[in-house]
Structure 1
């Protein structure tokens, strides 16, 4: 029930327990039962000066928090999904409520979607890291022998159509499949969201959009180039061969950030904090390794690939020995040492949390 105090505009909400809020807080959502004075007046009792609602008491704090948080609605763990859905329909919040297709707490399809999302994130990240190995990168040439290869980076300038015989093409196929899944997931979330504006303002959704957008923009550009040169059948492969380094780095970083969503899998309370620390270590290692790879690969043979740069990150973070890969301060000024400093600070955070 709700007790109304008209003088100061304060309304005291009571649903087995007393709650307090301002009338202006409820008025922010006029298309709901509590937010519309005309609809809630039917539940007003003149004798007691109260609004009475015969609903679940444990659901009401979450419903009140929806108004106080300007639209954040979350089911309390102690309330069943069926009961909570009935309550939000009663209070006319159903068009604000959404159960995402990857919410593993609710449905089997949600658990399956969440698992697939994590699997594709891991596959995409591992594929990109392996793609930078000199053995699989056409931008590296072997100046040594087959038994003892010596790889040198030589960025290709000429345009050359790719085919399935080139060693980098399988990684493009893997990337295309992963991007297709991420796009499908994003579309499902977008169409199931009641407010596109709120959806686009969510930081995680922004990361998802930025992660897949460069793939399609570069693909479209290569498509147009292929049509002009009458080589349409090769435009998919040419996307990888002609991608600019800056665009590739941007897509990589945003794609790697998606792995942070794996945190949701750490549901067991005894190991939750430890799982988060392990995840933070792995994610930061991949991110910093990727950054250092793009900075140093033209100048330092020790950063010939992302997996090779991962060893530098492990040594830097654990501080078990002096870094085996030296950084030339004269070539990259202070950018590489600054990344190294950030890496050490992230290691300090991990060690502090482990105490």
Structure 2
């Protein structure tokens, strides 16, 4: 058994133990991150949480370096999705050591990237990634068409409502918020049309929005079926 089998393999007891240990540590560090936000934490609890964070970062750093060492193409690993996630999982800790404390809170948010490390150990997530690759061209086209629809709906509601509600629909850019909320069928209700033309236009946009929401779900579902077929030819 070599180091690569332990770090990247799942067919050995040592490899499975390594993976499980990292997963437990990821969950533990995320729980510690959440507990840190509680008000009026005792000093002892704060010290313990800092200790948990330090130990977690040390282990994650060793894991990152080991994965880099066993990788055949080190640059490719470093720039890969999981390579970047592994780096972002430890980077906030080291950056906060040499930065003014007022900036530390912003870097702490980067610790949430650790939750993405769990994707490495999930077969379902890997299958979903393959599905996105299968449907990437259709999803890109859907994104372009959706952007055009967002813009057109923002322009339309702007011309219908700008005189009746000059503050809510002051420009096309202001109207984009309404456009997003309506096309995605969320409809927060904070901005809504009051003119007859605006209401008719909104009804049409809502009908289009129902189709817009369902398209990516269908694309991904179809791609997931193809990805599963590739696993079990």
Q: TM-score, normalised on structure 1?
A: 0.33
In proportion to residue count, which structure has more strand? Answer: 1
In proportion to residue count, which structure has more helix? Answer: 2
Larger radius of gyration: 1
